[in-house]
Amino acid sequence: MLLDRETLEIAPSAQVALDDLGDDARYDTELREGQIEIRTPVCGNGIAAGICLADALLHLGERLGDTTLVAASGTHPFSSAWGRGSREGRYQELAAEFPYAGRRHLPCGLHVHVAVSGAERALAAYNAARSFLPELVALGAIELRAADSQTRLEDASAVAALFQCLLVWLAERHDEGDELLVHETSRIAENVWRARRYGTRGFMVDPVTGEPVETRMLVS
């Protein structure tokens, strides 16, 4: 999010900032004019991704000057002056398809992409990883594409590293011939709701037995 340095309200100046940044591929438009998307290059691990993200944030902060701040969080805690929606085609399509979200939401997400080679291997890891989304949601604030944008670089790197490790572990289990369980969608959905509502302080249902389990136990 781009913030006014004095009021800390959303500053809808993304296009001005992007014009100043030129063709730097690390930055792009987002859903609203008060947001900028930051992308890292392909990285070997969460630490490298964190270093690249830190460098991008520092560079952006320097280019914004003395009037605008850059801030990361799941959403803004009080501002409703979000600015107009982005004029880029894909965001215009999203706003048209989901008008309520386009008018009423200011989502800021942390997206983690992990490459898993082999179609069968990737599908097996993907199906099994769904069962771990509630724990990732609980660790990442409200809502990879499940986690909120993190306020601390260390937390963003940790979430990315955790997701990468999870996918590597699942892919290696598949390679060793282990059966990767695909749990009931209803139980996964229940746990995602509980993770959003209570974070790590509540409980979830065991995806196999359906019995209640403290979220901290599942996360650990």
pLDDT in tens, 126-181: 888 888 877 777 776 744 445 566 778 888 888 888 888 888 888 898 889 988 88
| pLDDT tens string 2-56 | 999 999 998 888 888 999 999 999 999 888 888 899 999 999 988 899 999 999 9
Examine the domain organization and report whether 142 and 46 are in the same domain.
no
Examine the domain organization and report whether 83 and 153 are in the same domain.
no
Per-residue pLDDT at 82: 67
Per-residue pLDDT at 78: 83
Q: Tell me whether strands 27-29 and 109-110 are parallel, antiparallel or unpaired.
A: unpaired
Per-residue pLDDT at 40: 93
**Three-state DSSP class for 32?**
strand
The neighbouring-strand residues paired with 205 are 212
Residue where one domain finishes, among candidates 49, 82, 104: 104
Residue where one domain finishes, among candidates 40, 70, 104: 104
Examine the domain organization and report whether 134 and 202 are in the same domain.
yes
What is the tally of structural domains in the chain?
2
Angle at CA of residue 109, ends 108 and 115, nearest 5°: 155
Q: Tell me whether strands 147-148 and 109-110 are parallel, antiparallel or unpaired.
A: antiparallel
Q: What is the DSSP string of 73-130?
A: -SS-SS-----PBP-SHHHHHHHHHSHHHHHH----EE-------SHHHHHHHHHHHG
Q: Give the C-alpha separation, 165 to 176, whole Å.
A: 16
Per-residue pLDDT at 104: 63
Strand extents, DSSP E, the chain: 2-4, 27-29, 36-38, 68-70, 109-110, 147-148, 203-205, 212-214
